[in-house]
Chains A and B, each alone.
Chain A
């Protein structure tokens, strides 16, 4: 049925012609419909790609107003912006700060959240429902509700403009979120495994530590990656609490190129590309797990 099209897919040609012509096998469609699908996907793909490609292109132009005369960039492609950003600015400091803060937050969040996720997944105890509710409600906190009291608290404790302060602030959202995510993952591990452990004489902690935690490694990884990527790119708290330029994270540092007086768009673009490359690479490495981890709790319970 598809031998005459200009786009014969291997699947289509392999399909037996024995099926009634009226109802096509699922997932296959007529040539025009398929062409339309490809057309829509190509268009959507271009829209998704364009802004990212554009900032890369702009980053190759040497002048700060080059983005206004995009055609001109072709004639003077240069890597000088990158050179300037890498060697004449605090890029590596910001990079290190972002790595440190989001890395420590992630480890802290996942470690603390793991036992709680397990407890709410497996055990019923007085206070279970309020705890689940508060885990859900903390997801809803608009930054405005915590940012002011956090600011006064941290300034009382002398933790403004310090890594520890920012890590504590990030923990407010990452700990409940990880607990939530891990609860969803623990729900997918059969309870029979726990029961087998108990029969063999393990305590609940022993069951958790020796049997369930090793099985939940993918879930832990998802929680870790997710919070890492979130705090890697967090803006409002970082730009409010980190005051001196040697403490900036990347999200804050990037904004310094564009001030009211002088907008160095070309340097900003180059920095943006430098930030985007590692995080996108990291994201693509883990995205398959990210998706299953995100939907596991919802679809399997």
Chain B
């Protein structure tokens, strides 16, 4: 994704023309930009009304003590006006270093980071491995591809329910483990096993996207490069290291960024596997949901504050990631 932006801005030179006089230039650019603005108007309006406005409203809420008991609401015919107060940055301070902030924020923060790192790593390595195998001339490649894409084809809320059945006490997974005389953890009840189960299910569900994207990337690497490498007597490992990996760089950087964003914000797997119970296994995003909608009274202000913190983390990460990409790009010529 990020790469697409950089590539596109570079393309601007295509439209540059010899510079005419100033007045002419202003006129011409006005005509040109008028079209552009007319074309982006619908999206800008939608973004403004449906994203920016709620975002501003949400940020405002984080500075108050709003909850479901003091926001404006209607009970029958009576309209009760909002009665929440401005509290400044109290919510942020409370989340980050208030009493019990370790249990409420930092433990979830650490788990979310670990979860993102482990899941994206597994998605990428397993996806790349399978893509490399599928890129070989093997018999029945199409069948394997159809099978391997299945976790992506079936909606997550369906497959996660299936995993929940399989992982329950006395379910098929523990049945198999017991027949192998292995320990049978309580996948849906024991905190550590819950985390393992969540990572397992999310990996299962996320590999196909990586695999297919990387397969597309592999197939776009020109065959001549491999032929040249073979001529030079490169070993398979050298071909992988010096032809395949550089050839995959653009696709990889895109899918890793997408993978990080999606995994960091992953809601369905945790929510459907454990519901709003299992406090230890809640990611920041499901925890924020639980504060806002899974308890009574609903703590709107803190929930929104979590959302803002999450978004800031992702924006900072993306900025660094893109800078790092640009640097390695330069370093590699």
Contact of A146 (CB < 8 Å), options: B55, B138, B254: B55
A residues in contact with B152, CB < 8 Å: 283
A204 pairs with B35, CB closer than 8 A:
yes
Whether A67 is near chain B, meaning CB under 8 Å from some CB there, is yes
Q: Which of B3, B4, B47, B171: most chain A CB closer than 10 A? A: B4
Whether A68 is near chain B, meaning CB under 8 Å from some CB there, is yes
- Chain A, interface residues (CB within 8 Å), range: 35 or more
Whether B208 is near chain A, meaning CB under 8 Å from some CB there, is yes
Q: Taking chain A's interface residues, is the majority helix, strand, or loop, or is none over half, making it mixed? A: helix
Instruction: Name the residue of chain A whose CB is nearest to the CB of B46.
Output: A175
B58 pairs with A37, CB closer than 8 A:
no
A residues in contact with B71, CB < 8 Å: 152
Whether A176 is near chain B, meaning CB under 8 Å from some CB there, is yes
Chain B residues with a Cβ under 8 A of chain A: 1-9, 11-12, 14-15, 32-33, 35-40, 42-44, 46-47, 50-51, 53-55, 57-58, 61, 71-73, 129-130, 133-140, 143-144, 146-159, 161-163, 165-166, 168, 170-172, 175, 204, 208, 212-213, 215-217, 220, 223, 226-227, 230, 233, 250-251, 254-255, 258, 261, 264-265, 267-268, 271-272, 284-285, 288-289, 292-293, 300, 303-304, 306-308, 310-311, 314-315, 318
CB-defined interface of A141-181 with B at 8 Å, one 1/0 digit per residue? 11111111111110110000000000011011001100110
A residues in contact with B311, CB < 8 Å: 137, 140-142, 145
B residues in contact with A246, CB < 8 Å: none
Contact of A48 (CB < 8 Å), options: B2, B53, B204, B318: B204
Whether A78 is near chain B, meaning CB under 8 Å from some CB there, is no
Whether A199 is near chain B, meaning CB under 8 Å from some CB there, is no
Q: Which of B38, B166, B168: most chain A CB closer than 10 A? A: B166
Contact of B293 (CB < 8 Å), options: A23, A58, A147: A147
In the bound complex, CA of A148 to CA of B91 (Å): 15
Whether A299 is near chain B, meaning CB under 8 Å from some CB there, is yes
> Do A134 and B250 contact each other (CB < 8 Å), given the known contacts A144-B288, A272-B162, A284-B146?
no
Instruction: Name the residue of chain A whose CB is nearest to the CB of B260.
Output: A140
A55 pairs with B50, CB closer than 8 A:
no
In the bound complex, CA of A70 to CA of B15 (Å): 66
B5 pairs with A132, CB closer than 8 A:
yes
A298 pairs with B43, CB closer than 8 A:
no
Instruction: Name the residue of chain A whose CB is nearest to the CB of B32.
Output: A123
B36 pairs with A119, CB closer than 8 A:
yes
Whether A280 is near chain B, meaning CB under 8 Å from some CB there, is yes
In the bound complex, CA of A148 to CA of B57 (Å): 9
B289 pairs with A48, CB closer than 8 A:
no
Q: List 27 A-B contacts (CB under 8 A).
A: A38-B138, A42-B144, A44-B130, A45-B143, A47-B204, A52-B159, A112-B43, A116-B43, A116-B44, A136-B2, A138-B51, A139-B1, A144-B288, A148-B58, A148-B304, A151-B300, A153-B54, A153-B57, A184-B4, A205-B38, A233-B155, A254-B158, A255-B272, A284-B146, A298-B251, A299-B217, A301-B4
Whether A29 is near chain B, meaning CB under 8 Å from some CB there, is yes
B residues in contact with A217, CB < 8 Å: none
B135 pairs with A176, CB closer than 8 A:
no
A residues in contact with B50, CB < 8 Å: 168-169, 171-172, 175
A23 pairs with B230, CB closer than 8 A:
yes
In the bound complex, CA of A286 to CA of B147 (Å): 15
Whether A106 is near chain B, meaning CB under 8 Å from some CB there, is no
